[in-house]
Amino acid sequence: MYKRTIRGNCVWGENSRSLTAYSRHDNGGGPLSHVTQSEMLAVELDAPASMSKSQPDRDELQSGLGSDLEPEDLSPVISWPAKPPSTLPPCPQHFYGRDDEFEVIAKQLVREESCRIALLGPGGIGKTTLAVALAHDPRVQAKYGRYILFLNCDGLPTPEIILRALAASLRLGSSPNDVQRALNYLGSLGVPVLLVLDSLECVWDTVHQESVEDYLNQLSDMSHLSLLVTMRGTLRPSRVDWTLPVAEPLQPVDLHAARQIFVNISRRVEPTGDVDTLLELLDGLPLAITLMAFQAQILTAQELLRAYYKEKTRLLRRGRNRRLTSMDVSIEASLHSRTIQKLPEAVPVLSIICLLPNGINRTRLENALPSLQKVTEIVDALQQVALVVEDPERLGVLAPVRAVILERYPPYGAYLQEIRHYFMRLTEITDILGDEATESVMEVLREHFDNLISVLVHFWRAYPGSDEVEKLFHATQRVAEWSCRTTYGDPTPLLMAAHTRLDEMHRHREAAICAQRLGKVLQLQIRYQDAVSMLEKAKAEFIVIGAPLGEAQCLHSLGSLLCIQLRYQESIPMFEEAQRAFETIKDSRGSAQCMQSIGDALRMQFRYGEAIPMLEKANAAFRAINERLGQAQCIQSHGDLLRMQSRYRDAVALLEEAKLAFEDIGELLGVAQCTQSLGDVLRMQSRFEDSIVVLEKAKAVFETIGESLGVAQCTRSIGDALCMQSRYDDAVPILWSAKGVFEAIDERLGAAQCTQSLGDILYMRSQYEEAAPMLREAEAAFQVIGEPLGAAQCMQSLGDILRMQSRYQEAALMLERAKTAFQTMNEPRGHAQCLQSLADILYKQFDYRKAVPLFEEARVAFDEIGEQLGAAQCTRSLGDAWRVQFRYDAAVIMLEKAKSQFEVVGSRLGIAQCLQSLGDVFRMRQQYQEAAVVLQKAAIEFESVGDPLGVARCKQNLADVLRRQPQGAVLTVEDLITRLTTRGIAWDVTDSMRTPDKVDRLQFRPAEDSMDSLPVAISNDHEDDASNVHPSAPLQSASDRGELHEDVIRRQYSAAQTLPLEPERLVGRAVVIDQLINGITSGDVPHFAVCGPPGIGKTTVARALVHNPRIAQKFGSNRWFLDCDGVTSADGIISSLTTCITPT
């Protein structure tokens, strides 16, 4: 006979599986095996080892272990193995986010001396996964080989049973001295051994703690044995010399690692936003993420989100209820530890902390629960088992743990009443906003906002008593009002819970007020349809109960919703109806608010003459009742109106005044909006760097209060400021980012403005084919939402694109339409820009007589509104107009002035263009040294702003300068090449006259050399410019020009011998030819030059022109074609022309 004691189920035998049977735990592991160690306890054998068990005994064991366990697996073993069998679970399949911890511990394990390491942290944090992964590391395997022993202590109640289980897993046989046999065996090994004790807290955090530490001390004394233990909590056993540096408790994984775990288990590819929202709810707890990922094999992330809000804990388990497959079991293991069991108040306090998603610091917890004794001891105990975590500021509980605790151990009793009253009293501090303590009050409310919502929602759902409803209602209104004023947090769940419960309790007035407030919150959240529905519902409820004030307030809110949707015309009657209702009940504040709203609606319709008196009237009404917020808002609206009129100086004064007023009353939204408007003013004044600094400040305030619309608007304005500085590479990603935010919050106006700005950047980069569709898309969006200013700006840009494509007639029509629209809206900046573009069209058509006064008109308009960039551009254009009319002195004055203006506003492109034009003036004056220096600077500036075409033009003109300067010049070709290459500008001597390949059209400009009205085509196949015909050459002799002209008038000539062959084919130049022919035959273009790089087709165009029937009909035989290749002076041209002219 033999005596056996079976507590649970166990496995013994030579062919048996290891005592440690592992399931694939949720953050990685091996396949499920037949039995877990939590289902096995000790077997004490007193009989001889050879004695066999009876069949009933075998049946009993097999029944408990599973039907697939064979009887021969139960054979007893007493042999001493030469090498221990492997007890290590499979390597985790999903192991992410622990790289740093892994590397530190792996290095400790593989160093020469042994080590002792404790992996600590809450349940489900991934301690077991990390331990198994470390054991499978090739470096660890190389050191320890098969002497890696892994033992799961879960379910083993005493240290002796753990050692017996270890002996069994080592197949040391069974005897009364199993514990000592195991210790002796481990001590006798002469090779490195790694012993992993998983879930050691299950036996350590019990009455056997001292005994456990004694055995750990014996194990740590073995010089060849390294010890790795995993334990829930934050405390390590004593009497062990833990290896330094000791590992800190494991922290939740970051979002990137959480996403990797989720995707690799779920095998779903879904929109990142949906998955991230779900993962953020799980607080980076690997076990919760793993369990949710298994659910995602069936459900989408959106479906899981909806289900999680309703039934959190059901989703946090799978399969059998085990520590590694269920959050419930994992948490229960911690709750049943001796540390918690000896403090009866620990679980009730834990449930209170779980009610606070933002957590709470120790001092506030003591204040909130005045009846709680032993606060420090209880909190320390909860931390020791890692159910509560503490950062430097507060105590908190991970979200999945909170969900389980609140479901299984909901808060109750005196502690619940105390926490409710504490947070309801906390809402009363909203009444002191506006005094010196504003910022500290704001900080407290922000810190506890989510806690307030959670506690008050819990109170509403728990059926408050009739004596508590009034206080709870007022607390709810205070929180919601503060949230609306500061746009911080989301009070929607609180208002919905309050409305539902109040309606059930037949407290219809309070329910209607909650519905009204909820409508305003939904409006701020840009959920306009939901807001309209809720406000209409509230209005109906107020009518039923006879509450005209509530009805009037709902009318005003509905009008505001129409304004937000840019339906200004429809909003005004709604505001007027609300104003009459307020006046009927003698509500001065409501009446003033309606006047303010009407003024804003008129302002947004550009009806400035009506808007200003209305805003002033509203301001006076607010002042009469000492309503500081309303006064500040009226001043802000007036300042924005002046800004829209480009009256920047007056606008800044009012916006600064409004900003100070908002700061005095703690109205951060108003502060941010005024700062944003001030930044926009600086941008419109071309003070771009200052503008970006101010806009960044406004953006930071918007971010602080959680105002995503303001953040996106500031981001867009920053992108526009960068664009105005020609920093397109910086601007594009910023504008795309802002556009994404606008689209996410369904803000169509902002999205359209970003599309417009991106289209403008493409236009500025000469990518006209890509820019035009984007601008048309933006224009259509503006028209749909009723935004005439944006539509006019898009028309203006489209007109400018047509202008740059030399489609002058279409461009002029489009720009005239835009100019008219700007005039209608009284928008001077757009009007001035259209004048500038129309002037440029005339300039490009060589009509300087009309272009110059139009440039002057545009420049004056820009000066009047303080638009320095536009004024500088017009000044440069005037300089260029004087330059091409040979009025070089006037041109230099204008170009130098424009250059200075561009330097003030920081426009490097404008500076480069002025330098290029000045260089051309010097070149025309044969001041080659000055021309070379200036053109070199221009090339460098063009390179800095990424304008290769500008660089190429400068190189082209520099080549001409170098070719023409006299022998012995100070600046040689080699000098110039050296200077440019050191500044990063490539220079190919053999190709120095070419412009970039992207120039695929002819360039036209008036001939610099006047020959009166005689149409002479000057061609040079080997040079890409007619600049060798220079007004400073001997042609300046009036007698030469006069004699030639007189000779031509006196005689008829035949051009037959000078005309080249007509080109056989002319592809892609029809528009150019038609433009030139129209100009020549109408007399509008008496002189012209065909310019472009070699091979572009200049000579072909000239040949086609002189053979064109319309040209032949107009000039008959008075057509000559001169090849100027080799001609180096005006005298040479005159000589050649005189030679080829033959009297008829």
For tokens 């022309």, what's the residue?
1137
User: At 125, is the pLDDT very low, low, confident or very high (cuts 50, 70, 90)?
Assistant: confident
Q: What pLDDT is recorded for position 84?
A: 65
Q: What pLDDT is recorded for position 26?
A: 36
DSSP per residue, 571-633: HHHHHHHHHHHHHHTT-HHHHHHHHHHHHHHHHHTT-HHHHHHHHHHHHHHHHHTT-HHHHHH
In one-letter notation, the amino acid at residue 10 is: C
DSSP lists the bridge partners of residue 736 as: none
Q: Which of 425-439, 511-525, 573-587 has the lowest mean pLDDT?
A: 425-439
Q: What pLDDT is recorded for position 884?
A: 86
pLDDT higher than threshold 90 for residue 1100: no
Q: Which of 517-526, 683-692, 1010-1019 has the lowest mean pLDDT?
A: 1010-1019
Q: What pLDDT is recorded for position 945?
A: 79
pLDDT in tens, 382-430: 888 888 887 767 888 888 888 888 888 999 899 999 999 999 999 888 7
Strand bridging mode 116-121 / 225-232: parallel
Q: What pLDDT is recorded for position 1135?
A: 59
pLDDT higher than threshold 50 for residue 71: no
Distance (Å, whole) CA 804 – CA 810: 11
Distance (Å, whole) CA 459 – CA 153: 42
Distance (Å, whole) CA 756 – CA 791: 9
pLDDT in tens, 928-967: 888 999 999 999 988 887 788 888 888 888 888 877 766 5
Distance (Å, whole) CA 215 – CA 183: 9
Q: What is the mean pLDDT of residues 905-913?
A: 88
pLDDT in tens, 721-771: 998 888 889 999 999 999 998 888 778 888 999 999 999 999 888 889 999
Asked if 854 and 839 touch (Cβ cutoff 8 Å), the reply is yes
User: At 43, is the pLDDT very low, low, confident or very high (cuts 50, 70, 90)?
Assistant: very low
Distance (Å, whole) CA 102 – CA 266: 25
pLDDT in tens, 566-586: 788 889 999 999 999 999 999
pLDDT higher than threshold 80 for residue 172: no
In one-letter notation, the amino acid at residue 994 is: R
Q: Which of 281-285, 328-332, 1028-1032 has the lowest mean pLDDT?
A: 1028-1032
Q: What pLDDT is recorded for position 1007?
A: 33
The CB-based long-range contact list for 604-613 (8 Å cut-off, 24+ gap) reads 604/563, 604/566, 604/568, 605/568, 605/569, 606/644, 606/788, 606/789, 606/824, 606/825, 606/826, 606/827, 608/641, 608/644, 608/645, 608/826, 611/641, 612/638, 612/641
pLDDT in tens, 233-291: 888 898 898 988 888 888 888 888 888 888 888 877 665 677 888 888 888 888 888 88
- Which of 65-74, 317-326, 563-572, 846-855 is the most confident on average? 846-855
Strand bridging mode 1003-1005 / 1089-1091: antiparallel
The helix/strand/coil state of 369 is coil
Q: What is the mean pLDDT of residues 1002-1010?
A: 34
Q: What pLDDT is recorded for position 140?
A: 94
Q: What pLDDT is recorded for position 1139?
A: 56
pLDDT higher than threshold 60 for residue 1025: no
Q: Is the model more confident about 881 or about 43?
A: 881
Asked if 1080 and 1015 touch (Cβ cutoff 8 Å), the reply is yes
Mean pLDDT, the chain, as a whole number?
78
Q: Return the closest-CA partner of residue 955 out of 870, 888, 1024.
A: 1024
Q: What pLDDT is recorded for position 1052?
A: 36
Q: What pLDDT is recorded for position 599?
A: 92
Q: What pLDDT is recorded for position 878?
A: 94
pLDDT in tens, 782-826: 888 878 888 999 999 999 999 888 889 999 999 999 999 988 888
Asked if 714 and 698 touch (Cβ cutoff 8 Å), the reply is yes
DSSP per residue, 1020-1078: -TT-S--TTS-TTSGGG-HHHHHHHHHHHHHS-EE-TTT--PPPS---S-HHHHHHHHH
pLDDT higher than threshold 80 for residue 778: yes
pTM of the model: 0.52
The H or E element that residue 429 is part of is: none
Q: What pLDDT is recorded for position 105?
A: 93
User: At 62, is the pLDDT very low, low, confident or very high (cuts 50, 70, 90)?
Assistant: very low
User: At 619, is the pLDDT very low, low, confident or very high (cuts 50, 70, 90)?
Assistant: very high
User: At 536, is the pLDDT very low, low, confident or very high (cuts 50, 70, 90)?
Assistant: very high
Q: Return the closest-CA partner of residue 499 out of 523, 483, 516, 520.
A: 516
pLDDT higher than threshold 80 for residue 513: yes
Asked if 125 and 286 touch (Cβ cutoff 8 Å), the reply is yes
pLDDT higher than threshold 60 for residue 987: no
